[in-house]
Amino acid sequence: MNQISHTLEQDIYPVLAPRLVAIMCLLPKSIKNELTEIRLRINQPVILVFSNTDIMVTSDGQIASEAKQAYICSQEDLARTLHSISRNSLYAFEQELKLGYITIHGGHRVGLAGQVLVEGREIKAIKNISSLNIRIARQIKGCADKIMPYILATDRLVMSTLIIAPPRCGKTTILRDIVYQLSGGHALHNYHGIQVGVVDERSEIAACRNGIPTVDLGPRVDVLDCCPKADGILMLIRSMAPRVVVTDELGRSEDVLALKEALNAGIGVIASIHGGNEKEILHRPYIGELIQNKYFDRYVILGDRPQIGTIEDIIAVKTNELLYSRKKGVKICG
């Protein structure tokens, strides 16, 4: 059984409504292999998303050429899926619901949209959920191979790196492989492997189940699962003495403060952020400061053309040198 079939059977089918599972089972293997998202919207066709396109499917698992032929997701389908995702315990996901997503077993993120309840200025909950987006996470060993030479420094040090990419460009998959390669070592680069600390606020990088990673991250990784980034970074530095801290999706002011502390403590930081390139995020609150003051050593910019996880540019921040560029054909090995 290949990886995607295993992922679908282990993690995705158990949370889908029975009718949707039946349709998914009828899909040809070639479609399943390329699948990146399943989008469910009440009274709308079920849409399967691939890296550059999407399709609608009929109730017998065939590709529908128009919406009329497609299987329409009912309110019951969505409600049953939501109940399965939350294991009939929506209250246990209160914080996640406020943020608009739930991470399920296997590190797959399920985005939610519906009616937002606001109290004061704060989002209290999302009710009447009408859309779900199930994003299928994958572990692709070796997907960070191209990046590794640029972020490995001498003396078992790692260059602090910011991975910049719009949504659905493979940030988390690349981060996961970087963690795996840093912790396990890299024979090609004669790299022995170092202690890695992962602050996995959304349980996506390590996909922990009861605190234990369910993806292979190598032998030298300590994971703080479901821990807020700012607190987690500082906790790891104090308690686990990592050589590098890895975390996902920076954004808040406290993340930046914790990051500064780590960077000034001589620890490498590898993080990701949403954005098209470093210039786009320059004016973002809090994060812009990190860019302006050149806290990182490397920027890795990802794209989704011709496929998800394409490395567009790798930039040496301090010298502003373009080390790698897919379009310009630059390739200076770090």
Partner 1 sequence: MWLKLLGSVCVLAAGTYIGFKLSLRCSQRPQHIRQLVSCIVSLKSYINYISMPLSEALVKSTLGTEGPVAIFFKEIATLLESNIWMNPKQAILQVLDKMEGQLALESTEKEILVVLGANLGTMNREEQNKYLSMIQEQLEKLEQEAVRTRDLNTKMYRYLGVCGGLVIVILLA
Residue 248 beta carbon to partner 1: minimum distance, rounded to whole angstroms: 23
**Is the Cβ of residue 21 or residue 153 nearer to partner 1 in the bound state?**
21
Residue type at position 149: P
**Is the Cβ of residue 105 or residue 146 nearer to partner 1 in the bound state?**
105
Give the Cα separation of 118 and 109 in Å (integer): 23
**Is the Cβ of residue 18 or residue 288 nearer to partner 1 in the bound state?**
18
**Is the Cβ of residue 79 or residue 113 nearer to partner 1 in the bound state?**
79
Residue 268 beta carbon to partner 1: minimum distance, rounded to whole angstroms: 35
Give the Cα separation of 288 and 92 in Å (integer): 34
Residue 249 beta carbon to partner 1: minimum distance, rounded to whole angstroms: 23
Residue type at position 17: A
Angle between helices 18-26 and 75-85 (to 10 degrees): 90
> Which residues neighbour 50 within 8 Å (Cβ) at sequence distance 6 or greater?
34, 35, 36
Give the Cα separation of 199 and 152 in Å (integer): 20
Phi, psi of 42 (to 5 degrees): -60, 130
Residue 88 beta carbon to partner 1: minimum distance, rounded to whole angstroms: 4
Residue 90 beta carbon to partner 1: minimum distance, rounded to whole angstroms: 6
Residue 78 beta carbon to partner 1: minimum distance, rounded to whole angstroms: 13
**Is the Cβ of residue 110 or residue 147 nearer to partner 1 in the bound state?**
110
Q: Which residues would be at the binding site for partner 1 (CB under 8 A)?
A: 14-15, 17-18, 80, 83-84, 86-92, 94, 97, 124-125
**Is the Cβ of residue 128 or residue 292 nearer to partner 1 in the bound state?**
128
**Is the Cβ of residue 66 or residue 119 nearer to partner 1 in the bound state?**
119
Residue 95 beta carbon to partner 1: minimum distance, rounded to whole angstroms: 9
Radius of gyration of the chain (CA): 20
Give the Cα separation of 183 and 171 in Å (integer): 18
Residue 11 beta carbon to partner 1: minimum distance, rounded to whole angstroms: 12
Q: Is 258 in contact with 276 (CB distance < 8 Å)?
A: no
**Is the Cβ of residue 94 or residue 145 nearer to partner 1 in the bound state?**
94
Please name the residue that has the structure tokens 């009861």: 210
Residue type at position 99: L
**Is the Cβ of residue 18 or residue 167 nearer to partner 1 in the bound state?**
18
Whether the upstream peptide bond of residue 306 has omega within 30° of 0, thus cis, is yes
Q: Is 58 in contact with 156 (CB distance < 8 Å)?
A: no
Residue type at position 21: V
Residue 334 beta carbon to partner 1: minimum distance, rounded to whole angstroms: 45
β-bridge pairing 161-165 and 298-303? parallel
Give the Cα separation of 206 and 197 in Å (integer): 11
Please name the residue that has the structure tokens 């794209």: 303
